[in-house]
Amino acid sequence: MISQSRYVKIITGVGAAQTVPERKLILRVVTQNPVIPPGIIIEFSAESAVGSFFGQNSEEYARALAYFTFISKSIKSPALISYARWVNQSIAPTVVGDSFPKSLTALAAFTAGTLTIMSGANAISIGPINLSGAANLTAVAALIQTAVRVSTDSQLTAATVTYNTNTNQFVLTGSVVGAGVISVAPSTLATDISTLTGLATGSTVLVKGQTADTADVAISKSASLSNNFGSFVYVTPTTPFVNADLVAIAAWNASQNNMYMYSLATTLTNMGTLFPLIQGYSGTAINVLSTTAPNDFIEQSPCEILASTDYSQPNSAQNYMFYQFPNRNTTVSDDPTANIADSFRANYIGVTQSAGAPLAFYQRGLLCGGPLDAVDMNIYANEMWLKSTMATTSLGLLMAVPTLPANPTGGGMLLGVYQDVMTQAQANGVFSEGATLTAVQQQFISQVTGDKNAWRQIQTIGYWINITFSSYTNPNTGLVEKQAVYRLVYAKGDAVRLITGSDTLI
C-alpha cells in the first residue's frame, strides 16, 4: 500500500464526510506459524476464533486468551487482535484465495472445469477437472491439485492446493522455494472455476517466492499490509531471539516515529547488556521475564491496556502503572531488585503490601527512548492516538472537499475539523488543562510558536495550534507543490506514580 505519509506527515517530539477509517490501537501478533499464509493480516474478535484457527494448544491461542480476558479500570476489554506471518524460511510463490464463502454445489457442477495459471509470464491451461465427485471443499482442492501437477512447468509439477475451512480460502502454492511468482488469470470461459474458488478475484493475495525474512523485516511487511494496530509482540520463534534481533526490531519501530509500541520480554540478567543497546530507540517496552515460572506473556500487559483504551470517552487516558494482572507472575519482590530493574527502565509485576496483604501490580510503565522521546507509556500512547486521529481527520477533509485552498480559507477549514479532535483530547485527558509551565517551558513555547502569548493558552486550555502554507518539491515527481503545515503544541497529560504526604500531629 502507498504510505499515508505521502499525503499527511506528522512528526512527533516531546518539548464533512468521514471517509477514512480510524486506526484501531489493537495488538498485532507476529508468528512463524504456517497456518496463516504470508501476505495477509487476520483479525479476530474472540479467543475462541483464534483457538479454532490456530488450535487451542497453540501459543497464539494462549496469548489471545490472556488478551481478551483483560478488563481495564474503565471496564473495557480489547475488541480485536490481529496476526501476521513472519516468513522465517524460504517459501514458494503462493496464491491466497479470497475468504468469501465457497459453494460446494456450484463447484461440483463442473465435470470439465478449467484454470489458467500464470507461472511468471507463461500462461498454462489446467484441466479438464472433474469436480462432480467431491464430497467437500477439501476434496475439491485435492482434485485441482492433481490437475495442476500434470503440468510440466517447474513451478507446478509439485504444487499444492489446499482449502482452509476456517477462513474459506483456497491456497495454491508453487513448487520452487525462494523465488518466482504465480497467479490465476480469470477467464470468460463457461468452464472457468477461478472466481468460484476465489483464486482470481479482487481480494486474492499474491505472495512472491522469497528467502527468509528477519524479524524486523517481518513487522515492516506486516505494517505495510495493514497499519491497523497500536502495539506488537512476537510469538516465541523457533530459533530464540538474540539481542541483535531485539535491537533491530526496536530500531525499526523507532523509525516509525511514535506510530507503534513494541513490547518484549527478557530476563533481568540480560537487561544490563540489552538496555544500553536499545535505550535510544523510542517506543520499546522491556519487561522482566521470569526464569522459573511458565511464560505468562508479560510483554502483552501494556498492549492489553492500550487496546482497552477508548479515547472517545471522557478521562479515558490511562496510567499504565498500578494495573493488576492476577494471572501473571510476580518477577520483582524486593527493593534491591526493583532498583536494578528501574535503572534499566524495565517493566515488571512487582509486589508490595497493604495491611499485611501482598499487593502486586504492573510497574513502572516506561519505554526506551532518547531525551526528545516520550518515555512514559501513557504519554506515548496518547500521542499515538492523537497523531492517528489528526491524520485520519486530515485525509478525511482532503477526500471530502473539492479542494483545500492554500490560503486563510483553507486554514480555517483545517482548524474547523481539527477543533473536534482538540475538544476530544481535552475531554479524554490527552491534553492537560491548567498545567503549570516553568519559565523554561514558557520561553521554549514562545520560541517554537513565534507567539509570546502561546504559553498562556496552553496553560489555560491545554493546547495551541496554527496552520501555515508553503511550497515544497515532491521528491518523487520533482514538481513544486503546496503543503499545509500545522504546528500543535500541547501540555501532555502526565500520570502520578508517587504520592508523598506529611502527617502533623497536634
Q: What is the mean pLDDT of residues 130-134?
A: 97
CA dihedral over 69, 72, 75, 79, signed as positive or negative:
negative
C-alpha cell at 302: 501494556
Distances (CA, A) of 334 to 275, 344, 350, 358: 21, 16, 8, 12
Average pLDDT, integer, range 46-56: 92
Report CA torsion sign: 228, 234, 239, 243.
positive
Statement: residue 5 has pLDDT above 60: no
Express each pLDDT in 69-121 by its tens digit. 999 999 999 999 999 999 999 999 999 999 899 999 999 999 999 999 999 99
Whole-number Å distance between alpha carbons of 437 and 490: 11
What confidence category does residue 7 fall into, taking pLDDT thresholds of 50, 70 and 90? very low
How high is the pLDDT of residue 10? 41
Kindly report the number of other CB atoms within 10 A of residue 351's CB atom: 15
Residue type, 269: T
Query: Which triple of cell numbers denotes residue 396?
Result: 478525511
pLDDT in tens, 200-233: 999 999 999 999 999 999 999 999 999 999 999 9
The runs of H, that is alpha helices, within 149-256 are 215-225, 243-255
Q: List, as one string, the DSSP characters of 237-305.
A: PSS---HHHHHHHHHHHHHT-SS-EEEEEE-HHHHHHHHHHHTTSTTEEEEEPPSSSPP--GGGHHHHH
pLDDT at 8 over 50: no
Residue 128 has pLDDT above 60, yes or no: yes
Q: Is the dihedral of CA 311, 313, 315, 320 positive or negative?
A: negative
**Which of 32-41, 348-357, 378-387 shows the lowest mean pLDDT across its residues?**
348-357
Tell me which H or E stretch contains 6. Answer: none
Judge contact between 121 and 153, C-beta under 8 A. no
The residue among 9 and 383 whose pLDDT is bigger is 383
85 has which bridge partners? Answer: 31
Encode pLDDT of 475-497 as tens digits: 999 999 999 999 999 999 888 88
pLDDT higher than threshold 70 for residue 440:
yes
310 residue type, one letter: D
CA dist 379 and 299 (Å) reads 18
pLDDT band at 13 (very low <50, low <70, confident <90, very high): low
Which residues are CB-neighbours of 136 under 8 A, at least 6 positions away?
104
Name the helix (H) or strand (E) containing 492: none
CA distances from 159 to 122, 172, 184, 341, 463 (A): 16, 7, 13, 51, 59
Cβ-defined contacts of 75-79 (< 8 Å, 24+): 76/308, 76/309, 76/310, 77/308, 78/26, 78/27, 78/304, 78/307, 78/308, 79/24, 79/26, 79/45, 79/307
Q: Which three cell numbers stand for residue 476?
A: 518523487
Q: For residues 17-33, give the mean pLDDT.
A: 86
| 313 φ/ψ angles, rounded to the nearest 5 degrees | -100, 150
Residue 36, burial from CB neighbour count under 10 angstroms (0-12, 13-18, 19+): buried
Q: Mean pLDDT over all residues of the chain?
A: 93
Rg (CA), the chain: 27
CA 473 to chain centre: 31
- Mapping DSSP to helix (H, G, I), strand (E, B) and coil, where does residue 13 land? coil
Residues 284-339: tens digit of each pLDDT: 999 999 999 999 999 999 999 999 999 999 999 999 999 999 999 999 999 999 99
Q: Which of 498, 475, 209 is nearest to 352 (CA)?
A: 498
Judge contact between 141 and 162, C-beta under 8 A: yes
- Is a pLDDT exceeding 90 seen at residue 40? no
306: nearest Cα among 288, 325, 319, 322: 319
All cell numbers assigned to 112: 470439465
pLDDT of residue 14: 60
